[in-house]
A and B are shown apart, each in its own frame.
Chain A
Amino acid sequence: MNGFLAVYRRELLSLWVTPLAWVLLTVFLLLQGAIFYSIITHFASMSEASVDTGPLQAYFGQESIFLLMTLLLVCPALTMRVFAEERRSGTIETLLTAPVTPASVVLGKYSALLTTYALIWAPTLLYVVVLRKTGVVDWGVVGASYLGLLGIGAAYLSLGTLMSAMTKSQLVALLLTIFVEFGSFILGVGEYIFEPGVFRDICAHVSMMSQMEDFSKGILDLRRVVFDGSVTLLGLFVTTRVVDSWRWG
């Protein structure tokens, strides 16, 4: 696990001393700010508020399509370089000839990405603080919503890490990740398109929008958590196998 910590710290340093994380943070916060502002003005103009909805539920739930769109932008950009860059520059050779296992390399890098993802979300906690000034905030809803976002991020970052390990080109990694993640997002939209049946159930099961809608109501659906977790673990497992396979290239 020594290797894990070393890789984790280096990856985190690399993410934050290069402009990438800062650019993503800025773009992300600008977009979130715009979404949040429009939701707030919308609620402010409403004459009477209903009981089961509020700006927070709208932000994390009903209107989560905007929020997920920004994730489809941010997550692939965050993961594209993680392995592709090391393979292009050759540093992967020094990394893999150190006494570390492929699993600790993959986990170290992935954990750094997940930490960065969490750090990028952290400033949005201010929105909750802002809302608290004017009304009551249901902390259960806030907690569940962030848990939902963490689950989606974990799955997206895992898939992105895998795509980055599949190619030496950051651009190809970016495009592949967008393709896969946007594809899964579109599959989720199928829930609103198809007739009731098995296919619609599948779409509903993988839908990130439905997940956020449930979580924003404070409903912690274990199936959602298991789904996110399985995608994450599968992605990391395959990535480890891919890294291992480079020895035989």
Chain B
Amino acid sequence: MKRTLALAAALFASAAASAADRYLPGGNDDPNLRAAQYQNDENRYFSALTELLAVPRSNDKAADRYQWLLAENYLSFGMGQRAEPIYRELAISATDHLLLGQARLRLARFDYERGYYEQARSALLKMQEHLPKPLVDEWQDLSARVLMAQGRYNEAVAVLTSTDNASQQSPYTRYNLGVALINDGRVPQGRDVLDRIGRMRVETLDDLALRDKANLTLGWHFLHNQLGGSAKPIFGRVRSQGPYSNRALLGLGWAELSPQGTKQARATLADEELQGSPFTTFSTLGVLLRPGFLDRDIFKRAGMRDFKLDKLAKGEQDALKRALAAWVELINRDPMDPAVQEGWLAIPYSLDKLGAHAQALQFYEKAVDNLENNRKRADAAMTSIREGRMVETIVRRDIDAESGWEWKLKDLPDAPETYYLQNLLAEHRFQEALKNYRDVRMMQRNLDSWKARLDTMETAYKQPRPDVAPEILFRRATEDWTPSWTEPAMTLRADTALAAPGSYDAKAAPASPPAIELATGMPKRFDGDWEKIQSLKARQASLHALLETAANDQGKVLQTMAINELTGQKKQIEKYLVEARFALARLYDRQLKGELDDQH
């Protein structure tokens, strides 16, 4: 009473909340729904879904926000199978076509990245007819990527060129168009598109990397087609320090030595204006390997002793020197890069051609040492992968993040296998498998935490619990109920010796219980809190075991992909080793015969 009075007095001194407003469970005002929204905005999709699923919902069709949020979180947590029927249902009544289109595109992107190409293509085709205009570019981009993943380059080109929006398409889309055109046999047009991307003005580091990638792709395309003369300036545009610079340096060297080809005619596809040169810095390979750089003695820079040049044609000698300039720069770079490894062989090959046989021999010996070291590194990386260390190291970052499908690999572990596998790590098939593996591990930890919580609930159940005043339970049950009469007011009291009014005298003698006719639909067994706890404990144990199996299966898929990739790279190293040893044997043989007379 004292406390109540004190609170009543305080009522005048502070703000008072107005009477409680009512909300419909799962409706827009439901604080639980809005708490799920907060969790969604925190990328905690698993928690948001748990929150949403725990909302006791009526069959009110008006609660669209609940359904949108549910579908969005299902998809974000990598459950496209669950999200798809909800979006399909929402599409029937949706009035915001832009929102619906965005959701459908997101679902199609999920299918594409997970490898369900046919579903993705089908979904994209279905939405094409009523596609909101602001989504056209994104739809084109995704459709083309799906078609290209299926090897349908011709259709991809048709999708990307079906509307007059070349200037609005992202550089990534244009890059894909260039690749699709070349793979479809429309080589000159494809080259032109890639060439434009390779000369585009850039504002971000990602765009710079794309520009380098376009130049690298185009340069190697020319090289494979015996068009070294066309490849050289393209490789020269690649930045001297960047993710694609080593491959470009390697290509630049080979472009000097390969047939130069004829000047290629330009065949334009798009109606884009040609841009001026965006290469205003000194950071490209073309500038790094400028004529002045080459005129200084490239052989001295490479630490070679003087030697007498073979009687090569002046043009061939110059080409070899220019190739060496690129490769000498290359071999000082990361020894784990396959391009650098090839550079170790390319240099002695050129030296041998130039007549510097002894120097070539020394370089081959160095190359063998380096390649042997790399083979050991590859073996160590393979062991690490087989022991599952690589995957565990990657997923250990943000270990409790519930970001599901939206999880991004932002950083790579500093482990030997990381470098070998960077191309594989970039592929959707690996990334999506990694996301699943993370999610399974996260769910296992979730179930682990429930084991202790269920034990606590079980212990609490066994403890005596405080009695709840029956009046409170009665008032709660009748809080929203208005009786059809006014008097008398109904109350409830606890009756511990219940009998017909006035008839209780003493405990009745035991009699045979009357037959009770159970109503149909009665539960077959009692399902109280204790039984629920036991059932949850059994489910927890069973699910944990299933998750362990799933984690092992998914881990094996990741491991197989990594081992296959690494095996391919190891084979390449071994191939280089065979080549180097064969060349060495040949040179030793000639040395024994006194044929290596290049020293002054």
Do A and B originate from a single complex? no
Q: State the B residues within 8 Å of A (CB).
A: none
